[in-house]
């Protein structure tokens, strides 16, 4: 649901054409966020209509580049990004969205993520405790059947995920709080 914002942030990092955006979403960005070129063109059209982005009009850099349309973010688009980062509450399962917010914070000054992170950390700790409780309740027995071992493995996947994320988040914390935010 935040594809337009993903595009806005990518454009803040570097003004691009739809085609370039598609390539960027296939490479680096695509590791944690996907968007096909159809989505990109669709959203670019909408965002032009909304006044968030505009096509860069340069007096024909070279005659060949006529077809290429480079988009840049307008003030209203930038404001929309700030609003979205500040007002969109995330849950424990929206980690890639939080990474998107981090990218926004990396491009345009501090956006108050230092206040959202602790809440996410608390949520992750809570969920981890839930998992630990299930672990002790359901998998404390000495001998488990194959099926039970597999179900235990599924639970462990969840435990690993939370623990690993918490480690990362604690490491990130000072970066968001220190400085000036």
Which residues of this chain interact with DNA, rule CB under 7 A? 1, 3, 17-20, 22-23, 34-39, 41-42, 44-45, 64-69
- Of the candidate spans 27-35, 37-45, 68-76, 83-91, the one that interacts with its own copies by CB under 8 A turns out to be 27-35
List the single partner that 99 binds among its own copies, DNA, none, CB under 5 to 8 Å by kind. Answer: its own copies
Alpha carbon 6 to chain centroid, angstroms: 7
DSSP 8-71: HHHHHHS-EEHHHHHHHHHTTGGGT----HHHHHHHHHHHHHHTSEEE---S-SSGGGGS--EE
Task: Please say whether the beta carbons of 111 and 85 come within 8 A.
Answer: yes
Please state the closest distance from residue 159 (CB atom) to its own copies, in A: 9
List the single partner that 150 binds among DNA, its own copies, none, CB under 5 to 8 Å by kind. Answer: its own copies
C-alpha–C-alpha distance, residues 22 and 7, integer Å: 10
Please state the closest distance from residue 104 (CB atom) to DNA, in A: 17
Strand order in the sheet with 53-55: 16-17, 70-73, 53-55
Please give the residue ranges that form the binding site for its own copies (CB under 8 A): 28, 31-32, 95, 99, 102-103, 105-107, 110, 127, 131, 134, 146-151, 153-154, 156-158, 160-161, 163-165, 167-168, 171-172, 175, 179
């Amino acid at each position: 649901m935040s594809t337009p914002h993903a595009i806005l942030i990518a454009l803040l990092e570097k003004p691009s054409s739809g085609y370039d955006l598609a390539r960027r979403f296939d490479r680096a960005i695509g590791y944690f966020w996907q968007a096909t070129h159809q989505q990109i063109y669709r959203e670019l059209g909408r965002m032009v209509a909304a006044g968030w982005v505009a096509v860069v009009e340069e007096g024909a850099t070279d005659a060949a580049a006529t077809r290429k349309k480079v988009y840049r973010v307008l003030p209203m688009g930038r404001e929309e990004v700030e609003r979205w980062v500040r007002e969109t509450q995330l849950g424990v399962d929206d980690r890639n969205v939080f990474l998107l917010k981090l990218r926004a914070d990396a491009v345009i000054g501090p956006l108050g993520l230092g206040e959202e992170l602790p809440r996410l950390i608390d949520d992750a700790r809570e969920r981890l405790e839930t998992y630990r409780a299930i672990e002790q309740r359901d998998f404390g027995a000495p001998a488990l059947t194959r099926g039970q071992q597999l179900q235990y493995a599924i639970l462990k996947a969840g435990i690993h995920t939370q623990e690993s994320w918490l480690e990362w988040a604690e490491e990130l914390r000072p970066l968001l709080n220190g400085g000036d935010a």
